[in-house]
Structure 1
Amino acid sequence: MAVSEPMNGHSAGSTTTITHSSPFLPPRNGEQTRQALVILNSPIRSPPSPLFQKLWDSCCFHVCADGGANRLYRADPGLLPDLIRDSNDLDKALSAILQKKSMDTQQQQYTRIIIYGAFGGRFDQEMASIQALYKWGPQFQNRLVLIDDNTSAVLLPAGVKNEIRMPRYGDQTGKQQKDLGEGPTCGLIPIGTKCEKIVTTGFKWNLDGTIPLEFGGLVSTSNHLSEEVATVEASHPLVFTAEVACGIEDVF
């Protein structure tokens, strides 16, 4: 699903704008992209789905973490990672990417870190992947994306205007129905703390800031992206999650 790309623009009230743009959308305004892919210990189809293959081809650095190398080899022995961190976890893989970035002084910084295989396994491992969004997000300028063949997620920081750009939105008629990537079904999940105030645009069911999001109260699930650009401004961090079209009809 989406990725975060800090922007220099500001909305009314001098609020910083961060754009979370799908890796399946073309770069805007001629922007150059440099992506890294982290593969976790989660099933990979054999042969890999069109979505996985697209992600692999679009990334310049590939890291296997916590058994991900075995999964990758069984899916396609011809796909060789740049780095294997099988002896440990996602934290080690992200730390390795930070170290490589600091050494590549002549290279632009990564515009997106894609973590594949974050869902569908043990629940505690899924929560560890969500935790990584909170723990590592600031160090990667909120450019972390969790994704597999069904689901994606990014962290929306508090106190900024988050713009969300997905390839699949609206009624999904015509060509968009075949597009790889995220949407239109989505959710806004308050993990870790109550979100006191949230204002959105571009969703089928928007929030106007009068109702907080919290477990035991309202949690925005099964919403839909209705416009090309949706916005979220929140008092506390939220996880934005969306369904994924991987290019295979029967993904369950």
Structure 2
Amino acid sequence: MPTIWNTSSFLSAASNSSTESSKALIVLNLPITKPEIFYRVWRSCQIRYCADGGANRLYDFFDSDKERRQFLPDLIKGDLDSLRSDVRSWYEQAGVRVVEDPDQYSTDLMKCISSIQAHEKAISANLDIILFGGLTGRLDQTIHTLHYLHKLRTERDKVWVVSDDEVAWCLDAGEHEIPIDHGILGPTCGILPLGVTDAVISTKGLRWDVENWETSFSTQISTSNQLVSTEPVVKITTNRPVWWNVAIQDLAVSK
């Protein structure tokens, strides 16, 4: 059976915390510049954490305290070397739990994942995870995000990374189906063999489909491919883990 990856569960205008599977959001330390994407992802999640300086980004995104109180995270966690003192004070006064974890062998992202795992144990349920940010900014931090999610693929069902202009996730070896809402996604997309020496992939539903196509960083990679407007589903088969990314269109703000 193929694995189904439905981005509409958190990118659709109708998405909310009761839509399909339960989700957890981690806001990373990168600017939030596309309001509608942020609002849709936030609404779709049951719990919302900020990884250290991600709280600064959440705070600065809003113009008023009234708005900020409508978007309070459940937790701010990290070594707190990036969290501004004024932001920490404001959220603590608003009742948000702030946890300092000085462990230098784990990143702020890893610390938040650990707290999600503890929450899952407490509620006896598994959550899909959405990272907001992580695909822009410093290259080493972007690579860390990809590296860590590559490792998590064997432990968790679904972990997504959403940025201002795309959504990406790791496809493990096997068959995958990606329902496409052409009013939200596209047109560009790519399949990258990150974390493996090579992979053999087959696709259906793309402008330039491939069959048993060998891909690696030393030979050829699939970038700047395109969705086909008449195809409702993209199908991908791979013998090794690969990264799939697809553009998010400009969405009208509805809050």
TM normalised by structure 2 equals 0.77
1:163 aligns with 2:177: yes
* Greater RCO (CA < 8 Å, at least 6 residues apart): 1
Correspondence for 1:215: 217
Equivalent residue in structure 2 for 1:82, among 74, 99, 116: 74
1:66 aligns with: 52
Partner residue in 2 for 1:56: 42
1:31: Cα distance to partner?
Answer: 7.1
| Cα displacement (A) at 1:55 | 0.9
Distance 2:217 2:150 in 1: 18
Aligned pairs, how many? Answer: 213
What residue identity is the alignment partner of 2:126? Answer: Q
1:194–1:236 Cα contact (<8 Å) kept: no
Q: Partner of 1:37: helix, strand, or coil?
A: strand
What stretches of structure 1 move > 3 A for 4+ residues in a row? Answer: none
What's 2:136 paired with?
Answer: 120
Say if 1:149 and 1:246, in contact at 8 Å, map to a contact too: no
| CA distance in structure 1 between the partners assigned to 2:111 and 2:180 by the alignment | 29
Q: Which ranges of structure 2 fall in alignment gaps of 5 or more residues?
A: 63-67, 80-106
Instruction: Note the alpha carbon deviations across 1:154-212, whole angstroms, 9 max, x for none.
Output: 10111x211112322xxxxxxx3xx4xx3221000011223342111111111110x31
1:41 maps to a residue whose letter is N
Match of 2:3 among 7, 12, 18: 18
- Give the conservation status (yes or no) of the 8 Å contact 1:198–1:207: yes
**What's the CA shift string for 1:90-120, capped at 9, x where partnerless?**
1111111111001113xx432x211001122
For 1:122 and 1:186, how far apart are their aligned partners in 2? Answer: 22
Please tell me the residue identity of whatever aligns with 2:145: S
DSSP-derived class of the 1:109 partner? coil
Match of 2:150 in 1: 134
Whole-angstrom distance in 2 between the partners of 1:82 and 1:31: 20
User: Once the 2 structures are TM-superposed, how far is the Cα of residue 147 of structure 1 from its aligned partner?
Assistant: 0.7
> Is 1:69–1:86's contact at 8 Å kept on the other side of the alignment?
no
Q: Is the 8 A contact 2:153 2:172 kept in 1?
A: no
Partners of 1:228 and 1:126 lie apart in 2 by 30
Matched, 1:94 2:124: no
Specify whether residues 240 and 82 from structure 1 end up closer, same or farther in structure 2 by C-alpha distance, changes over 3 A only: same
Partner of 1:34: 22
Against the structure 1 CA distance between its residues 225 and 100, is the aligned structure 2 distance closer, same or farther, given a 3 Å change threshold?
same
Determine helix, strand or coil for the equivalent of 1:230: strand
SS at match of 1:206: coil
- What's the TM-score once normalised by structure 1's chain length? 0.78
Calculate the aligned-residue CA RMSD, in Å. 2.1
Structure (1/2) with the larger helix percentage: 2
Distance 1:101 1:121 in 2: 30
The higher radius of gyration belongs to 2
Deviation at 1:148, TM superposition (A): 1.2
Question: Is it true that 1:247 corresponds to 2:239 in the alignment?
Answer: no
Displacement of 1:132 after TM fit?
2.0
Change (3 A) 1:236 1:44: same
Q: Confirm or deny: 8 A CA contact 2:28 2:132 kept in the other structure.
A: yes
**2:168 match:** 153
Q: Give the fraction of aligned pairs with identical amino acids, expressed as a percent.
A: 31
Distance 2:159 2:148 in 1: 9
Cα distance in 2 between the residues matched to 1:41 and 1:74: 11
Aligned partner letter, 2:246: A
SS of alignment partner, residue 119 of structure 2? helix
Distance (Å, rounded) in 1 between the aligned partners of 2:217 and 2:252: 33
